[in-house]
């Protein structure tokens, strides 16, 4: 599988990565065998970048139980410090960040993390500096090799311009394209690795029904519903000449067509879907430039203050 360097970190990672929200939030701790099939299929297929979070319910425990014995085969990223009210400054403390990192190490049965990212805190919390200081302390202590920010909109812009972070994880997909105009260029200029989350937008592109309708975990449906609405409007402008029949190939190919993107993390709790995604990237995820340009044009035309979905 094609690989690229994660910015200034020097880590070489697969252009397709695994986002582990789906495993953590759609499976239970008793479904460890299914989680193992998904993660081992990913590693066997050439994926070497796993991205999780202290907040993804049982995700970290499932990583520890299934692939910790293969730790040298993958780059491991997690996130710390998530609370429901992202603007609640009194809840974003150094203690919270350190607690999450220590818990992540224990859960995933590892003595170091390759990357720890702040999990979508607000610009105001970033400006206060306490959580950034905690992250850098963890790096100095050897608990993580690199530090990053995961988020969108004005907070992501602040994080990029601050110079503190090695990587940026941000939303980017066919129905969520503002990163290409607001974030890619400044992040690239600072030699940050760019990790794109939700690259297939919950399978919204050209889907006949809302694909989030049957998800167990309700919060994933909030942004999923909006992805579906936007995608319906974009697809409603008519067919695109030369577009693949496989709508997931279009979705992944669109994201990876942007050279600033280091990796696109796709989440699934289905082993066969994981294998399908690997085959898409290995054997033809590239799109004709005319298709990429048309998808960009449609987004720009319909954009009605469509900010990034957090």
- Please report, for the domain that includes residue 67, its CATH number: 3.20.20.100
The answer to whether position 9 is within a domain reads yes
Q: For residues 176 and 308, give the distance between their C-alpha atoms in angstroms, rounded to a whole number.
A: 6
CA distance 97 to 102: 9
Beta-carbon contacts of 294 under 8 Å, excluding residues fewer than 6 positions away, are 240
Q: What is the count of structural domains for the chain?
A: 1
Residues in the chain with pLDDT < 70? Answer: 86, 214-221, 284-285
* 32 domain residue, yes or no: yes
Amino acid 310: pLDDT: 79
Q: How many CA atoms lie within 13 A of 284 on its CB side?
A: 9
d(CA 19, CA 6): 16
Has residue 190 been placed in a domain? yes
Percent of the chain with pLDDT strictly greater than 70: 96
pLDDT of residue 219: 53
Whether 155 is in a domain gets the answer yes
Say what the pLDDT of residue 309 is.
Answer: 85
> Is residue 304 assigned to a domain?
no
213 within some domain: no
Residues 6+ apart with CB under 8 A from 78: 51, 52, 53, 54, 60, 104, 108, 113, 115, 116, 117
Residue 136's domain comprises 3-202+258-285
Any domain includes 219? no
Look at residue 237 and tell me if it is in a domain.
Answer: no
* pLDDT, tens digit, 9 for 90 and up, residues 23-59: 999 999 999 999 999 999 999 999 999 999 999 999 9
**CA 281 to chain CA mean position, Å:** 16
Give bridge partners of residue 42 from the DSSP assignment.
Answer: none
Burial of 270 (0-12, 13-18, 19+ CB in 10 A): middle
Mean pLDDT computed over every residue of the chain: 94
pTM of the model: 0.94
């Amino acid at each position: 599988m094609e690989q690229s360097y994660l910015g200034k970190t020097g880590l070489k990672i697969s252009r397709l990565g695994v986002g582990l929200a789906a495993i953590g939030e759609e499976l239970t701790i008793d479904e460890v065998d299914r989680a193992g099939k998904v993660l081992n299929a990913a590693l066997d297929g050439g994926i070497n970048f796993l991205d999780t979070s202290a907040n993804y319910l049982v995700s970290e425990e499932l990583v520890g139980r299934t692939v910790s014995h293969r730790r040298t085969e993958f780059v491991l990223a997690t996130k710390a410090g998530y609370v429901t009210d992202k603007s609640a400054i009194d809840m974003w403390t150094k203690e919270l960040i350190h607690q999450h990192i220590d818990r992540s190490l224990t859960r995933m049965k590892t003595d170091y993390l390759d990357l720890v990212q702040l999990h979508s805190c607000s610009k105001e919390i970033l400006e206060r500096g306490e959580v950034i200081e905690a992250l850098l302390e963890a790096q100095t202590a050897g608990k993580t090799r690199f530090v990053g920010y995961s988020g969108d909109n004005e907070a992501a812009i602040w994080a990029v311009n601050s110079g503190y972070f090695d990587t940026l994880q941000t939303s980017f997909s066919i129905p969520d394209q503002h990163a290409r105009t607001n974030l890619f260029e400044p992040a690239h200029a600072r030699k940050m690795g760019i990790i794109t989350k939700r690259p297939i937008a919950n399978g919204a592109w050209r889907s006949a029904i809302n694909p989030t309708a049957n998800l167990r975990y309700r919060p994933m449906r909030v942004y999923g519903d909006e992805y579906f609405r936007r995608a319906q409007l974009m697809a409603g402008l008519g067919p695109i000449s030369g577009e693949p029949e496989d709508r997931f190939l279009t979705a992944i190919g669109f994201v990876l067509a942007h050279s600033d993107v280091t990796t696109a993390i796709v989440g699934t709790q289905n082993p066969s879907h994981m294998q399908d995604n690997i085959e898409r990237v290995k054997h033809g995820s590239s799109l004709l430039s005319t298709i990429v340009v048309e998808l960009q044009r449609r987004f720009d035309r319909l954009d009605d203050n469509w900010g990034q979905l957090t």
